[in-house]
Amino acid sequence: MIEIIAKSEPKISLKQHIEDGLSVWQNLQISFPAASDCAGKNNFWRLLWLSVVTHDLGKAHAEFQKVLHGESNDWRSQRHELFSLPFVKALSISEQDKIIVLRVVAAHHKTYQYLSKFIADNYGNDPTEFEEEFSKMNMDGAIQIAHSFEDGLISMSILAESPEKVIYGYEREKRHVTTGQQKEITDYFVLLLLMGAFHHCDHLSSAFVTDFDVLKEQSFQFLDRMEKDLTRKGFGLYYHQGAASKLQGNVILTAPTGSGKTETSMLWLRNQLSLQQGRVFYVLPFTASINAMFERLRDDEKGLGKDMVGMLHGNLNAYLYESFFEDAGNLKELKTQIKGLKQTFKNLQTPLKVITPFQLLKHLFGLKGFEKGIFEWAGGHFIFDEIHAYDPEVTAQIIVLLEYLTNRLQAKIFIMTATLPSFLKKRIGQAIGTFEEIKAEPTLYENFKRHRIKLQDGLLVESLNMIREDLKAEKSVLVVCNTVDYARHVYENLHSDYDSLLIHGRFVAKDRTIIERRLQKKPPQLLIGTQAIEVSLDIDYDTIYTEPAPLDALIQRFGRVNRKRLKTPCPCIVFKERNEKDKYIYSDALVQTTLEVLDEIERQNEGVIQEAELQGYIDRVYPGYDDEAQRKFDNIYELLTMSAKRLTPFMPSQEGEDDYYRQFDGIKVLPAFYEQEFKRLLDQFDFIGAEQLKVSIRKNWFARLINDSGLERKLHVIVPSNNPKIKPIDISYYRINKWYRPDTGLDFEKDEETEFVINSSEIIF
């Protein structure tokens, strides 16, 4: 009998493809034991097994086999999954279960909307046409393959019935739901999770990935080594660390910055995984903190190990490009490494992902592949670090996510913070339901006397001599401004005399990655930046000069000073006067209340921050959202709650996708400074490297600059070869004609005056 193949490049038999899918199926049961309970279906895994075995039997169509063998054919771009459906109908299972498997198999490539139109266009005029096409199936071969997995699996006669009942039936049911004629699609959550699980089986097996890791007890040996090292030095675990290691279920932890909260979350995680497996998501708000946490957790000695940890964020290409650029033998090898790692991080190969909330939230908006993403949450463990850092709109989305995870998917949540307002902690508690609250011991707070407040009259930018005096005394100094322009002004006045570095949000991806890497290796004596410094950069400075900001932001800034508590309380100088652009960033009320609190600390405690009292101070500054912030929170909460309710298996939401991307305000443009380098990389087909030379600007700046020639739309033509049959490739981009330098970033106030020919590999910070 002629072998039936499933794929041509590389050639793989249908039987082998199904076997690979079942290997994934086997591993899914180990990695996601809660999935069946979440779906509310006792035979969930059996239905998935049936879906995997039958999904590609339609590829036994004679004309499709000709396509795969590169022979002339009369396939006419039909849908092989539709020819699989008669085999599903011949299974000896209940009608209800049969409908579930039919719906999954039918939709494993295309949406029902697409399939409805396809059936109408191809088989609608003649009911016998599908029967005629099905008669071209290699029936004996397909049945033999099915029976090789379970004898007698297809025990009923196979009828060449048109697929329209399956497709149109689901379409009608979906319309009834959306028009309010019924509450939910039949077996709604079973279908959602089953389709997600099936896609993992199909996609991983197609990529020849049939096995993937889970975190085991031995994965956490670094915690044992940490505890032994502490004992050897005469110390032990903090109270909150020991408490977390014993708790089961949801936890909200409050502890000072620098008190081992990450290790605390890992101790909690180890205990959860001893009870039930599930994927782990370590959620952070910023790229820099994600990169740092990724490297920390994947360390083979001090973390879980490099094969256990992946990460996902919007600038992943830039990170991977810089990580492998020097070691790659050539561009092709570099691209292969980046592509391979990205796929590893996206699929199930790494049991823990360090991730932004947006990579999770996109599934609740119904973006393509949302079923696959939501299945990965089943019985999962979610660690939220720096949860204080989000604005009201993102916080509202996280609240909806927490409700969905705990109500639908038996997820366990670990929230950790140093500065979370009580009103927000209460709202998060409501979202996750039952939870244990852990607070660091009072004695620990007493030992964490690290910072001494000093309020200073005037503007920071007018007091640079104070900073110079500290630098001359060989102190390491941190300077934080609220705007890029003021941070750049400070840098330009001080950098020539001292080892210094500037960090903010207006660097191209390549330069930003270089800056972050330098900070990790050897921080300079003088670091100047914006709110980017508030993220979890592992730096430890002697003093800080900062413009006024809300208390929670200032506490995060202070956390980069005397971080290791090796010194007496270090000075934190906060200027009272605000620059004229601050009003666009922070409200007057928040800043004014913060200054009042700081004045009280300076007068009552000789300026030394008593960290045990921070919660009370935070609650004074943030008794609740103001009216405008509350309105934004409520609107987004309602929007995403409705979006989550509208999720329809097999049907990505265009409306949800529009809503999701609408919240991102950045547009990537190319500084004129890098244009020649950009073209050179494009000509070498280094599209990833070229993309790293762009910077993201807000839409309002884009609109302003495009109208006054500050931005130009440009076109670069790549000629692949001298072969006239190969068409040139047109690459369009926006060039911004504003001043840019690798050490200072983009300056909207200054025009670029010179044409540059820059080789980025020669740039030295």
Please tell me whether residues 78 and 36 are part of one structural domain. Answer: yes
The string of DSSP letters for 577-625 reads: PPPTTGGGTS-HHHHHHHHHHHHHHHHHSTTB--GGGHHHHHHHH-SS-
What pLDDT is recorded for position 757? 45
Confidence of residue 340 (pLDDT cuts 50, 70, 90): confident
Report the alpha-carbon distance of residue 327 to residue 286 in Å, rounded.
27
**Which of 401, 425, 444 lies at the terminal end of a domain, its last residue?**
444
Cβ(674)–Cβ(758) below 8 Å: yes
Report the alpha-carbon distance of residue 746 to residue 737 in Å, rounded.
10
For the stretch 536-571, pLDDT in tens is: 567 889 999 999 999 999 998 998 899 888 899 999
Neighbouring-strand partners of residue 439: 254
Q: Check whether 765 has a pLDDT greater than 50.
A: no
Cβ(482)–Cβ(476) below 8 Å: no
**Residue 327 counted as domain residue:** no
The predicted model gives 192-219 an average pLDDT of 94
For the stretch 13-28, pLDDT in tens is: 999 999 999 999 999 9
Please tell me whether residues 439 and 455 are part of one structural domain. Answer: no
Query: Chain-wide mean pLDDT for the chain?
Result: 91
What pLDDT is recorded for position 759? 47
Report the alpha-carbon distance of residue 305 to residue 31 in Å, rounded.
18
More confident residue, 400 or 168: 400
Cβ(24)–Cβ(210) below 8 Å: yes
What pLDDT is recorded for position 763? 42
Report the alpha-carbon distance of residue 237 to residue 228 in Å, rounded.
10
The predicted model gives 166-187 an average pLDDT of 80
Please tell me whether residues 267 and 370 are part of one structural domain. Answer: yes
The string of DSSP letters for 361-388 reads: HHHHTT-TTHHHHHHTTTT-EEEEESGG
Please tell me whether residues 163 and 243 are part of one structural domain. Answer: no
Please tell me whether residues 152 and 288 are part of one structural domain. Answer: no
- Least confident range from 316-330, 333-347, 520-534: namely 316-330
For the stretch 287-312, pLDDT in tens is: 888 888 999 999 999 999 999 999 99
The predicted model gives 118-126 an average pLDDT of 85
**Residue 552 counted as domain residue:** yes
What pLDDT is recorded for position 48? 98
Cβ(108)–Cβ(81) below 8 Å: yes
What pLDDT is recorded for position 474? 96
Q: Per the structure block, which two tokens stand in for 192?
A: 């959602």
Q: Check whether 738 has a pLDDT greater than 70.
A: yes
**Residue 653 counted as domain residue:** no
What pLDDT is recorded for position 158? 92
**Residue 628 counted as domain residue:** no
Residue 740 three-state SS: strand
Residue 66 three-state SS: helix
Report the alpha-carbon distance of residue 285 to residue 78 in Å, rounded.
45
Based on its alpha-carbon atoms, the radius of gyration of the chain, rounded to whole angstroms, reads: 29
The predicted model gives 193-208 an average pLDDT of 95
**Which of 609, 637, 654 lies at the terminal end of a domain, its last residue?**
609
Residue 519 three-state SS: helix
**Which of 444, 468, 501 lies at the terminal end of a domain, its last residue?**
444
Q: Check whether 328 has a pLDDT greater than 60.
A: yes
Cβ(624)–Cβ(630) below 8 Å: yes
- Ramachandran area for residue 12 (φ above 0: left; ψ -120 to 50: alpha; else beta): beta
The CATH number for 189's domain is: 1.10.3210.30
For the stretch 131-158, pLDDT in tens is: 999 999 999 999 999 999 999 999 878 9
**CB-based burial of residue 390 (10 Å sphere; 0-12 exposed, 13-18 middle, 19+ buried)?**
middle
Q: In this structure, what are the phi and psi dihedrals at residue 421, rounded to the nearest 5 degrees?
A: -60, 145
Report the alpha-carbon distance of residue 284 to residue 355 in Å, rounded.
6
What pLDDT is recorded for position 535? 66
Report the alpha-carbon distance of residue 250 to residue 442 in Å, rounded.
23
Confidence of residue 585 (pLDDT cuts 50, 70, 90): confident
Beta strand 666-671 with 695-698 is: antiparallel
Report the alpha-carbon distance of residue 265 to residue 413 in Å, rounded.
10
Residues 6+ apart with CB under 8 A from 592: none
What pLDDT is recorded for position 599? 96
Q: Per the structure block, which two tokens stand in for 340?
A: 């391979």
Which residue segment(s) compose the domain that 141 sits in? 5-206
Percentage with pLDDT > 70 across the chain:
96
Please tell me whether residues 297 and 373 are part of one structural domain. Answer: yes
Residue with tokens 């981009």: 733
The predicted model gives 365-390 an average pLDDT of 94
Confidence of residue 180 (pLDDT cuts 50, 70, 90): low
What pLDDT is recorded for position 249? 96
Please tell me whether residues 437 and 460 are part of one structural domain. Answer: no
Distance of CA 499 to the CA centre of its chain: 34
Cβ(44)–Cβ(190) below 8 Å: yes
Q: Check whether 197 has a pLDDT greater than 80.
A: yes
Of residues 483, 494, 563, 485, the one with CA closest to residue 527: 494
In 438-508, which ranges are continuous DSSP H helix? 442-447, 464-472, 484-494
- CB count within 10 Å of CB 253 equals 25
Report the alpha-carbon distance of residue 164 to residue 185 in Å, rounded.
18
Amino acid, res. 676: Q
What pLDDT is recorded for position 329? 62
* Interhelix angle 14-31/44-54, nearest 10 degrees: 160
What pLDDT is recorded for position 536? 56
Confidence of residue 672 (pLDDT cuts 50, 70, 90): very high
**Residue 53 counted as domain residue:** yes
Percentage with pLDDT > 90 across the chain:
69
Residues 6+ apart with CB under 8 A from 86: 134, 158, 159, 160, 161
- CA dihedral (301, 305, 306, 308) in degrees, to 10, reads -170
Please tell me whether residues 524 and 375 are part of one structural domain. Answer: no
**Residue 652 counted as domain residue:** no
Q: Per the structure block, which two tokens stand in for 592?
A: 């004014």
Name the percent of the chain in helix, strand, coil, to the closest 5.
50, 15, 35
**Residue 316 counted as domain residue:** no
For the stretch 236-287, pLDDT in tens is: 999 999 999 999 999 999 998 888 999 999 999 999 999 999 999 999 988 8
**Residue 404 counted as domain residue:** yes
Please tell me whether residues 42 and 156 are part of one structural domain. Answer: yes
Residue 155 three-state SS: coil
Please tell me whether residues 534 and 392 are part of one structural domain. Answer: no
Most confident of 89-93, 176-180, 343-347, 447-451: 89-93
Please tell me whether residues 89 and 228 are part of one structural domain. Answer: no
3-state secondary structure 394-427: HHHHHHHHHHHHHHHCCCEEEEEECCCCHHHHHH
The predicted model gives 522-540 an average pLDDT of 84
- CB count within 10 Å of CB 303 equals 22
For the stretch 607-660, pLDDT in tens is: 999 988 999 999 999 999 999 999 999 999 999 999 998 899 999 988 888 888
Please tell me whether residues 78 and 131 are part of one structural domain. Answer: yes
DSSP 532: G
Q: Check whether 367 has a pLDDT greater than 90.
A: yes
The CATH number for 455's domain is: 3.40.50.300
* Residue 253: CA count within 13 A, CB half-sphere: 34
What pLDDT is recorded for position 2? 80
Q: Check whether 580 has a pLDDT greater than 80.
A: yes
More confident residue, 561 or 326: 561
In 220-302, which ranges are continuous DSSP H helix? 221-232, 239-246, 261-275, 287-297
The predicted model gives 316-337 an average pLDDT of 73
- Overall domain count for the chain: 4
